[in-house]
Amino acid sequence: MTGDRDSATAAITATLTSSRALLGIVSRSMAGALEDMTLQQYRVLVALDGTGPARMGALAESTGVHPSTFTRMADRLEAGGWIRRDASPDSRREVLVDLTDQGRALVSEVTRKRRRAIAAVLRTLSPEDRETVRRGMRIFADAAGEPEVRDLLTLGVWPENDPAVP
């Protein structure tokens, strides 16, 4: 049993170390964006990039922001040219929020930086080690399950299914 416990402890330690390395990549990829806005504001851009136009109330709820706070946040994002607000074609009482081209470009750039950083790390590995990482990450992701979007948004991340772009 001690061998199993030691193996489990080693796996936990390796996984925690890897998660810190990935969080470092996430953090560095967002550094430029966070010079222009708060993490909470960036989360709104990521949510809009993932969903497309959304009602103000629904967007506030999905990002975990109180509606009155969200309105002030949207004011700042709109003033910065990151989002636009329009009356809903279905109801003039509803306001739809969407990314501007500038907002979409910022989210794309952060994602590109993140992908490039991960690709750079993987390029340092042998093909065999890259395959080991791929398999290990897939096994871990399958075992952990897909996180809730709200949990991912906490760190300004949206689930992706597109192919890797170095």
Asked, for residue 40, whether it belongs to a domain, the answer is yes
Give the mean pLDDT of 34-58: 90
21 in a structural domain? no
Q: Looking at residue 83, which CATH number applies to its domain?
A: 1.10.10.10
In the chain, beta strands by DSSP E: 54-55, 83-87, 95-99
Domain contains 164: no
Whether the predicted pLDDT of 112 surpasses 60: yes
Tens of pLDDT, residues 54-86: 998 888 988 888 988 999 999 999 999 999 999
At a CB cut-off of 8 Å and minimum separation 6, what does 36 contact?
Answer: 80, 106
| CA dihedral for 147, 150, 154, 160, sign (positive or negative) | positive
Owning domain of residue 63: 32-153
The verdict on residue 160 lying in a domain is: no
What is the share, in percent, of the chain residues with pLDDT greater than 90? 58
Alpha-carbon distance of 33 to 28, in angstroms, equals 10
Q: What is the number of structural domains in the chain? A: 1
